[in-house]
A and B are shown apart, each in its own frame.
Chain A
Amino acid sequence: MTAQTLAPPSGTSTHRAPGPARHRVRHLVADTGTMIGRSLRLVRRDPDELLLAVLLPVMMMLLFVYVFGGAMQVGTDYITYATPGVILLCAGYGASNTALAVQQDMAGGIVDRFRSLPIASSTMLTGHVVASVVKNLVSTVIVFGVAFLIGFRADATALEWCGAIAMIVLYVLAITWVATFVGVLAHTPAAAGGFGFFMLFLPYVSSAFVPPETMPSWMRGFAENQPITSVIETTRGLLVGTGSDGSPVTDLGPTAWLAVAWTAGITAVFLVAAAVAFARRRRQ
């Protein structure tokens, strides 16, 4: 071991760069980039995550089209009806797994080290969120791939495709920030995993797989008004141009704005909640 390696600061080239006062923004951008790189690497190297991201979409598509599809009467081809729902189911579930990644960081020693560094340690959360969006977009591409292979055909212009993708990204962002909040609060992996369980079932009580008109009235009220329904209707309207009853959509505007309001609102609320919870847990 050389003296050079372990010597205290002496103004050498390896000394820390000037403090945050002058380079705050530049550091914030660079630190966020480093954290995103970290989270992406962690996702890529988690065999469970990878398997889930690839296998779940394939299985869901096959399940809905070939197992349930034959029995469903929704006014259009069931594959056309259900594909947007499968996409959102997979993306939402994938996003909810962010809770586990965040919980693991919070419980391990690494969050303490990040907090002892001259960085905004909440960039750790941003890293997980961006990685989640990337991961779930990959997952979405897989669902589309399988859907096309077994007969799904979209009836969308390039602009409508962009709108649908943007809607999916907004949805993933919203779910990811809720998951991040859960991950910050959860004391055990089981508690963090509970959110994924919840997210795996929530889309069923919406217009994702069956028209809400078929549900009992009390459940129908929830199904028609919960955020996922507006997101589903918007995505389906953009991609295939039909509504929850299988008839063509004439004016998607109100539904789309409702979906944007829901997702943006949930994102904003839970982003702040996650940041506050993150700051508070340091004092415990």
Chain B
Amino acid sequence: MTTRSSTSRSAGADVAVRAEGLHKSFGPARRRTTVLTGLDLTLHRGEVLALLGPNGAGKTTSVRILSTLLAPDAGRATVAGLDVVHDAARVREVISLTGQYAAVDDKQTGAENLTMMARLAHLPRRAVAPRVEELLTAFDLTDAAGRRVGTYSGGMRRRLDLAAGLLAHPQVMFLDEPTTGLDPRSRQTMWDVIRDVVARGTSLFLTTQYLEEADQLADRIALIDDGSVVAEGTSSELKRQVGDAGVELTFATVADAALVAAALDLTRDGTRLRVPTDGSVPHVRSVLAAVEATAVVPTSWEVRAPTLDDVFLTLTGHTARTARATATDGTDRADRARTEQETAA
């Protein structure tokens, strides 16, 4: 359900976040690396949008621009109708950002971290303690509230980090790769928590490199590749094109793969072919029958859930891996530099 303020109903009242033609490059003129090459996207109020793409595609840069941390070189972005560059201070009143690296102090306890963030978010003085208590309970951290965050598990840190982002009831939340590095069980817990948050009507802008995560959480998915959105749609629209699962066939030679690809009208990735399927026995059997009819024998085949690469291959004609290697070498370097910095700390 969408919550709309009757006072601010205007042409864009329905839009939580809008980016138009965002460009961003880093570094000195001679070694300039371009990260965003005209990014357009829209997040509607009460909606969850997942920006899905490989490392180095420009996801974090997009989030940093939209959350006022970075100014774009060109293009324009608004959050709740406010310009992220010229109205940065007011944008910060309505957003929260939970970055890729937990933004909490290891040497403070969970409760101290939340209290500090609540004060900095300018909650009324008397509201701080009850609100902190409330979120500790909601995120199942009450028992750990008095312990230093340095002793927390990865999942607990992420939950605390997310709780910190919710203290001031943001209208728009930005989550940059919320489950990267978490084990499957913590990831599941994190998804449940995020689902609860969005079920109450908060608009959520999420980045991820996991198709499954985008599928689980998002109303709409925007595929980002080499700094711009290359495909966009609801999760079911994308899945209709990619399939719930795929029969993946590997051939001995490119020629073999090309022959079968032509016969079955598919896109080929080297010696690999992928046929979307619902995974049912009759359908898989019919796929294999069609392959058999070409008289080319695959060296191996398997049925598996689609990956980010499959989505890219189906929707853009090339894999995310190739996109990364050829197009955004520089971005990768920028990302690596940042990662090194994080690790060093």
Contact = CB atoms under 8 A, between A and B. Distances in A.
Interface of A: 1-10, 13-17, 19-20, 27, 30-31, 34, 37-38, 41-42, 45-46, 103-104, 107-110, 112-119, 187-190, 282-284
Given A14-B130, A16-B93, A110 B105 contact: yes
B169 A116 contact: no
Interface stretch (B48-56, B193-201, B230-238, B267-275): B193-201
Interface string B112-124: 1000110111111
Contacts of B135: 5
A115 B174 CA distance: 13
Contacts of B105: 38, 42, 110
B200 A7 contact: yes
B345 A104 contact: yes
Given A3-B200, A20-B89, A107-B341, A116 B96 contact: yes
A16 B121 contact: yes
A254 B138 CA distance: 63
Contacts of A283: 70-71
A85 B126 CA distance: 48
B92 interface: yes
Given A116-B92, A189-B345, A282 B69 contact: yes
Interface of B: 3, 26, 64, 67-71, 89-90, 92-93, 95-105, 107-108, 112, 116-117, 119-124, 126-127, 130-131, 134-135, 137-138, 148, 164-166, 168-171, 174, 193, 196-197, 199-202, 341-342, 344-345
B116 A34 contact: yes
B200 A109 contact: no
A103 B138 CA distance: 33
A107 B199 CA distance: 34
Interface of B is mostly: mixed
Nearest to B140: A1
A107 B338 CA distance: 8
Given A107-B341, A107-B345, A113-B165, 20 more contacts: A1-B196, A5-B134, A5-B137, A6-B166, A6-B202, A7-B169, A14-B131, A17-B123, A27-B122, A42-B105, A107-B344, A109-B102, A110-B103, A112-B103, A113-B103, A116-B174, A118-B121, A119-B120, A187-B344, A190-B344
Nearest to B201: A8
Contacts, number: 140
A244 B84 CA distance: 58
Nearest to B199: A6
Which 4 pairs show the lowest CB-CB distances between chains A and B?
A: A109-B101, A113-B103, A107-B345, A116-B97
Nearest to B118: A14
Nearest to A44: B107
Nearest to A112: B99
Nearest to B172: A8
Contact of B345 (A1, A20, A108): A108
Contact of B99 (A13, A17, A38, A109): A109
A73 to B, nearest CB: 47
B169 A14 contact: yes
A15 B169 contact: yes
A191 to B, nearest CB: 9
